[in-house]
Homo-oligomer: A and B are copies of this chain.
Amino acid sequence: MAISDSDSLNFLIIGAGAVGSIFAWRLQHAGNNVDIVCRSNYEAVLQNGFQISSFQFGPTTFKPNRVHKSLVDASLSKVVYDYILVCTKSLPNIHSPADVLEGIDLGSAAIVLIQNGIGIEVPFYKRFPGNALISSITYIDTKQVESGVIEHGDSADLSFGIYDPDNRFSEESTDHTLLLLQKALLEGGIKPKINRQIQIERWYKVVWNASFNPISVVSGASNTVQLLSDPRMEALIIRAMREIISVAETYLGTSLSPEIDSSEIPERYIAMTRKRPEPVFPSMMVDYVNKRPMEHQVILKAPIDVAKSLNIDVPVLESIYAILVHLENKQLNQ
């Protein structure tokens, strides 16, 4: 990255839904240039910007510096981007995830993946070997209630680290890239955390996602309150979590949490979910109900594949995955 720390940065946000729009807004608020590639909400955002009602930051109308319909459009603006944030769903079962970056000269931009799941970095790492790749996990309570209209709660955290298993980049250069992003986020009111062991955190988060998400679908679209008021479903969720934890710890060669015993993670997650003031509608359930493809490849299938490669039996995850994909196929073929 050829910019000095005092310059404002150029950000491109790809996939400006509930998550991407909040990061875009806060980064612009911090004084940066923020362009956005919108798809389904392009017309609405171009006309009116984003109408954001945020408990944490207040209400606003947020207008990105530029709204693009595609990456090819964005390239016509000739802006040299420092960071490209990918906030789309990861659907490798439907299209190659790295395709979202086709159509523009990436230059020396760092690619920041703000996505759930396991193995999401691989296609980007292979396709763009010259660009630093940042893998991140967000904890944010936000939803797009209609095109360009966002409701945001009281949290917007980003935990991130470099993905560079082959050590293509020096620690010095990646540190610079991480710190600059951290500073920009901080100035925008986002709580950033640089995590040198971001893969552990990814797996930790997938423990919740790979259990609650698909089980909310196969249970006939039950939210977290409905699921947790059925003791059998609670037991099923815990069992699914235990399978994921076992895979994760074998794969990573370390325990998932330095503070708590792994055997307690499921009950902690359950207790945390129970404490939520409102029922949670897991994203897969929302996608299923709206007849959109679900992120089951990176959230559920990838961990199952890792389990297979390690000869770990995951019968609950496999059962749920089979039913989930069968339901999806029925719906898409209707």
Contact = CB atoms under 8 A, between A and B. Distances in A.
Which of A220, A233, A323, A330 has the largest count of B CB atoms less than 10 A from its CB? A323
A327 B233 CA distance: 11
A230 B326 contact: yes
Contacts of A326: 219-220, 222, 230, 232-233
Contact of A319 (B226, B230, B315, B330): B315
21 contacts: A215-B323, A218-B218, A219-B323, A219-B326, A219-B330, A220-B327, A220-B330, A222-B326, A230-B322, A230-B326, A232-B326, A233-B322, A233-B323, A235-B322, A236-B318, A236-B319, A236-B322, A236-B323, A239-B315, A315-B319, A319-B319
Given A215-B323, A239-B319, 14 more contacts: A218-B323, A219-B323, A219-B327, A220-B326, A222-B330, A226-B330, A230-B322, A230-B325, A233-B322, A235-B322, A236-B322, A315-B315, A315-B316, A319-B320
User: 7 closest Cβ contacts across the A-B interface?
Assistant: A232-B322, A315-B315, A236-B322, A319-B319, A219-B326, A220-B327, A316-B319
